[in-house]
Chain A
């Protein structure tokens, strides 16, 4: 065996992508039998492909958010003589919104655990709690928006407020859409049970909800905490 291309030499290379796998020459020139997803062990399973596709969508969504964030970061001091964040923001409301969304993200993860265990009751309970905290978040955000508009600090007051309502409102729209999706998923799990297609939708919903919380982390930091200091 003088060839350097023997299975053991290949798989011992720690820098090769997918290292640590078994090299199995399983006939038909298929190479890595276990290396699903690398195009060398047959196609990846549908769940992996669906998850990957939805991950690409989420990343494109985050790229869209980045444009709104950039606009707000540029316009954060453009108050046109109107109120600044320091006068407008209610810190305790922000704390509560952050806590609600973080808890709902956590219970959403617990619903995924319950789904893996194929437990109907706990899946529904965890999803319901997720939805309730999401709803509480939206109520607080809506109250903050209403307060600001009543003070004459609506999106038409200054470029700062336009960009603030745009970026926070866009996130709120995403949360609203997520709540609709959540209700739909609860109904589908109830009626159709843990069918493979329902499980894939649940995975996508989980990814969506966690991604919303990631965006909120950027949002409360850039818009509210840094905005409070200006």
Chain B
């Protein structure tokens, strides 16, 4: 009975697993090398964009955030092995929920605090009213 449930397909992996896919040592190392090279390129691009005139000045923060999100994707796929394999569905769904919460917390905070700053009376005026 148990030997039946242990027969998993090649894509049947949880996060961080490689044994189920019967990955050879060479393939396993190759996967990490690809991820490492991609991560290095994206990191170098982030540091390069910072000081170059390649991108329009006010657009640099946006470019940096896009590069960071791309690098996080590389880390998730090549280092944490979050992929589209059937038994990875649970992990991907958990990740999607995590991303939703993170986006709400960060995006919501920035949005609300930005509006508060705009709508608040400047500090020196408030001081004068308190006199």
Interface of B, helix, strand, loop or mixed by DSSP:
helix
Number of interface residues of A (CB under 8 A): 65
Cβ contact within 8 Å between B5 and A41: yes
Cβ contact within 8 Å between B94 and A55: yes
Enumerate chain B residues within 8 angstroms of A18, measured Cβ to Cβ. Answer: 86-87, 89
Q: Is A7 an interface residue (CB 8 A)?
A: no
- Min C-beta distance of A214 to chain B, whole Å: 5
Within 8 A of A (CB), among B81-98: 86-87, 89-91, 94-95, 97-98
User: What are 22 A-B pairs at a CB distance below 8 A?
Assistant: A18-B87, A18-B89, A20-B86, A36-B87, A38-B89, A42-B4, A45-B5, A52-B90, A67-B105, A71-B109, A102-B36, A102-B43, A105-B79, A109-B31, A110-B29, A116-B19, A203-B16, A213-B79, A214-B72, A220-B46, A221-B64, A222-B65
List residues of A whose CB falls within 8 A of some B CB: 17-21, 26, 33-38, 41-45, 47-48, 51-52, 54-56, 59-60, 62-63, 66-67, 69-71, 73-74, 91, 95, 98-99, 102, 105-106, 109-110, 112-113, 116-117, 203-204, 206-207, 210-211, 213-214, 217-218, 220-222, 225-226, 228-229
